[in-house]
Amino acid sequence: MKDVVDINSKRAPVSVSGLALAALSFQTLGIIYSDIGTSPLYVLNGIWPASGEVPSQEDVIGGISAIIWSLTLLPLIKYVFVSLYFSTTEGEGGSFALYQGIYPRTEQDFGEDRALTGDSQDFKPHVKKQTFKQKIQFPLLLWCLFGTALTMADGALTPAVSVTSAVGGIGVAQPSVVSNIIPISIAFIVVLFFAQQLGTARLAFTFAPVSLIWFLLLAGTGIYNITTFPGVFRAFDPSRAILLFVRTKNYDLMAGILLAVTGCEAIFANLGQFNRASIRFSFCFIAYPSLVLAYLGQGARLIQEGSNVMDNIFYRTIPGPINGPLYWIVFVFAVLATLIASQAMITATFSLVQQVINLKSLPPIRMHHTSETIQGQVYVPVVNWILMIVTIVLVGAFSNLSNLTNAYGFAVATVMLSTTGLLAIQMFYVKKWPIIVGAVFFLFFGFIDGAFWGASAKKVPHGAWVPLMLGIVLALLMVLWTWGKALEDKFDGVNRMNLRHFIGLYADPDESDGIESSDNSGKSGYFLHKTNGDVSSSEQEKQEDGSEPRKELVRISTCAIFHKISQGKGVPHTFVGFVRQWPALPRVVIFLSVCVTPLARVPKNEQYIVTKVRSLDGFYGVTYYLGFRDNFDVQIEDLVEKIVQIEQEVNPNAEIAISEIRLAIAEATHIAPHYHVLSKRVQAGLFTPVANYIRSLLIETLYRRIATMFPETENWLTSADKIIHVGINAVI
């Protein structure tokens, strides 16, 4: 039977136009650009700290020039106009999506996945000679996982930096409350993380109007401030930025300028939640011009007033008096905008976690899809609460804002450098562009990213060690899980069997010639073959010579659903282990594969595709199609109707068999594997004992315990008393 849902086995990128595109572009303001949009709160003080000397006019113009050209080259050109062309076929963005593009997931043929019998050669893994692209796959995976881990760390650093910076405005207007800035910031952060349960779409429509007003305030105040010193427009000359570093020879200024482009990765990582057109429209016409005007205005006021605004350049350059109406309006929207900025990276983190789990690089944890139309909009509870705790700890521990911004900048620079390298590789291997294009792209943007990274790396002793530590820990966890899961899936594939080589049907219980028959009339039964399932049918017949008693299997009136966790033909090792431990066959044996489709919900009449094993009665291969908002809940009553339909098509006179099937499904049981992983002993020459000890530590002590904590059945709605875990010793 042809799979009715296979045509849409991949979800497509979000495609809208007209008013729908305008609405989606409006939403991006509340999710994507609020992070980069709040950078004016702290960038100039990041370049010239309040405790330092007042910069000269030429230094200010050079610094503003460096900011404007950084915004132009990185967010505008590299991310908005280049990287958005490199999403996955499912519309996902981010560094892990780039890796997916270079090494796409193997297309899963669920028709073959339901094949339980056939030529034994089809069940053997095929070994192919590795190409250069395949040889660099694991190093690229390590680098990509590290970049992804640092992006996740940004999900905690962004709220810590932006909220604390905004709340600091209270200290400018009311110096008496400076000591309360940290508790106030923590209170705002707690509210933000509790609001995540509402979902991306609701938050976006709530936040987008606030972000729009914030950008208009930045543009308006910037225009007013520019009138105080129009000569600041010389900052559009890129030579001013170059002369700044030639004149001052202060490489550390790059670390402060880097803060102006924080949030770049959110533009790409949130692509799965929106689309290219909406992201480009909102950045080019709202975010980019507002930011440029804001920085020009701040530079103009700094040149004119110098030391009078150095303690907090953003709040001191708000037009009008301190404590005036405009000041508090800007303050309120600054706090709201920073909360929304935090939302950008939190949402991006959820999206990245979804991608990593789908590629089996993180344990299966519970995710809630919050949109009926966009699969990328998810809420991950455990990640949300972990981020909240880490953010609160960071705010409490880094009472010095400059140290916190140092930590923030290092994470951003590392991720940008990772993205540049992956984009260059994609240009050659995926887009098939000439290698010179990728090389030029990497040399140009790699030089810029590398300059930022080098400056931020110097800040490691001053706070940047925090994202580095978080990134290393997360990356090691993902590498461990990727490696262990790959070994476990390989074990499952190698030990998968042809059903007919494991279960035999005899026509006469007094004979033992191993002849199989699909005729259920007369005396017949099932037996367990003595072979290992790897021999051909002719070899198998030679071994079944009657000299050795066979193990007969009793059929019992029940239904067993064996879940195929990994892809492949044949019956899973779970079934083999189950029958060997308990020599009996349920009347109805179902081998279930699961496919999550791009649809929000799959109609009930299309959820199950059934294939019957003709040579052995009562065995079925089933594909269970789920929408991304459907709950994993196998309704056996709906499934049995599909089975009955198949039986009627094969044998119109199958009333007795159908009545037995209906009786059996009343006692349906789900059977899932529980692999008790054991480390395989390897030969490593002189270091064999050490290598085996480390391997055993990683697999048996760490991976096994994590796998036990996060079982595959975690997201099933099936009652626990209807699930049997078959224990299997897996030497991997």
In this structure, is residue 99 part of a structural domain?
yes
In a domain, 50, yes or no: yes
Q: Which residues contact 45 (CB under 8 A, 6 or more apart)?
A: 310, 312, 313, 314
The Cα 310–Cα 685 span in angstroms is 64
- Determine whether 399 is exposed, middle or buried from the number of CB atoms within 10 Å of its CB (0-12, 13-18, 19+): exposed
The most confident of 88-97, 100-109, 570-579, 584-593, by mean pLDDT: 584-593
- Strands 584-596 vs 608-612: parallel, antiparallel or unpaired: unpaired
Residue 513 has pLDDT above 50, yes or no: no
Same-domain status, 321 and 431: yes
User: What end-to-end distance do the CA atoms of the chain give, in Å?
Assistant: 36
On whether residue 200 sits in a domain, the answer given is: yes
Position 265 pLDDT exceeds 50: yes
| The amino acid at 571 | V
Which pLDDT belongs to residue 123?
55
> Mean pLDDT lowest for which of 209-213, 274-278, 387-391, 544-548?
544-548
Q: In this predicted structure, what is the pLDDT of residue 310? A: 92
- Whether 536 is in a domain gets the answer yes
Same domain, 499 and 479: no
42-59: average pLDDT:
90
Tell me: pLDDT of 462 over 50.
yes
Task: Name the nearest CA neighbour of 495 among 108, 31, 124.
Answer: 124
Q: Can you tell me which residue has the tokens 């799965």? A: 272
What does the pLDDT read at residue 52?
A: 84
In a domain, 282, yes or no: yes
Residue 1 lies in a domain: no
What pLDDT band is residue 273 in, cutting at 50, 70 and 90?
Answer: low
Q: Give the pLDDT confidence of 384-398 residue by residue, as tens digits.
A: 999 899 889 888 877
Stronger pLDDT, 473 or 529, i.e. the higher one? 473
**453 and 554 in a common domain:** no
Q: What is the mean pLDDT of residues 445-463?
A: 88
Question: What number is the average pLDDT over the span 717-726?
Answer: 79
Q: Average pLDDT of 289-310?
A: 95
Q: Which of 13-17, 68-72, 82-86 has the highest mean pLDDT?
A: 68-72
Domain boundary among the residues 466, 487, 508 is at 487
Classified as helix, coil or strand, 730 is strand
Residue 715 sits in the same domain as residue 611: yes
Q: What is the pLDDT of residue 536?
A: 38
* Per-residue pLDDT band at 301 (split at 50, 70, 90): very high
Q: Which of 162, 262, 255, 245 is nearest to 460 (CA)?
A: 255
Q: Residue 480 maps to which CATH number? A: 1.20.1740.10
Per-residue pLDDT at 367: 80
Establish if 425 belongs to a structural domain. Answer: yes
pLDDT at 46: 86
One-character DSSP codes across 420-464: HHHHHHHHHHTS---HHHHHHHHHHHHHHHHHHHHHHHTTGGGTT
Q: Are residues 228 and 298 in the same domain?
A: yes
- Residue 119 reports pLDDT greater than 60: no
Q: What percent of the chain has pLDDT over 90?
A: 26
pLDDT category of residue 507 using cuts at 50, 70 and 90: low
- Band (pLDDT 50/70/90 cuts) for residue 144 is confident
Q: Choose from 3-12, 183-192, 262-271, 284-293 the range with maximum mean pLDDT.
A: 284-293
Let me know whether 79 and 218 are in one domain: yes
Report which listed range, 299-308, 615-624, 641-650, is most confident.
299-308
Nearest to 199 by CA among 406, 407, 380: 380
The band of 447, judged by pLDDT with boundaries at 50, 70 and 90, is: very high
For residue 518 the two structure tokens come to 């699909």
Q: What is the pLDDT of residue 217?
A: 96
Structural domain for 260, as ranges: 6-124+131-487
Same domain for 469 and 595? no
**pLDDT confidence band for 527 (50 / 70 / 90):** confident
User: Residue 218: what pLDDT?
Assistant: 96
Say yes or no: 531 and 602 in one domain.
yes
The residue among 36, 31, 64 whose CA lies nearest residue 259 is: 36
pLDDT(103) > 70: yes
Does pLDDT of 257 surpass 90?
Answer: yes
Q: For 85-95, what is the mean pLDDT?
A: 68
pLDDT (mean) for 535-553: 51
If one compares 542 and 428, the residue with the highest pLDDT of the two is 428
Q: Indicate whether 508 and 563 sit together in one domain.
A: yes
pLDDT value at 474 more than 60: yes
Q: In terms of pTM, does the model score above 0.75?
A: yes
Tokens of 609: 């595709």
Say whether pLDDT at 4 is over 80: no
Please give the average per-residue pLDDT across 392-412, as a whole number.
Answer: 74
Average pLDDT over residues 493-500: 82
The dihedral over CA atoms of 56, 58, 59, 63, expressed in degrees to the nearest 10, equals 140
pLDDT of 147 reads 78
> What is the rounded distance in angstroms from the CA atom of residue 540 to the CA atom of residue 507?
17
598-621 core/surface letters (b: 16 or more CB in 10 A; e: else): ebeebeeeebbbbbbbeebbbbbb
- Considering the domain architecture, whether residues 457 and 517 belong to the same structural domain is answered as no
pLDDT at residue 15, rounded to an integer = 60
Please tell me whether residues 672 and 528 are part of one structural domain: yes
Would the pLDDT of 606 be above 60? yes
Instruction: Please report the pLDDT score of residue 555 as a whole number.
Output: 87
Q: Kindly compute the dihedral angle of the four CA atoms of residues 128, 130, 134, 137, in this order, to the nearest 10 degrees.
A: 100
Number of separate domains in the chain: 2
Mean pLDDT, residues 523-540 taken together = 52
Burial class (CB in 10 A: 0-12, 13-18, 19+), 637: exposed
- Co-location of 164 and 309 in the same domain: yes
In this prediction, residues 689-715 reach a mean pLDDT of: 88
pLDDT of residue 76: 94
E-only strand ranges, 212-347: none
pLDDT of residue 701: 92
437 occurs within a structural domain = yes
Last residue of a domain, one of 459, 487, 515: 487
- Does the pLDDT value for residue 493 go beyond 60? yes
Residue 411 has a pLDDT of 76
| Domain end residue (candidates: 465, 487, 509) | 487
* Torsion region of 128: left, alpha or beta (phi above 0 gives left; psi -120 to 50 gives alpha): beta
Quick check: 280 pLDDT over 50?
yes
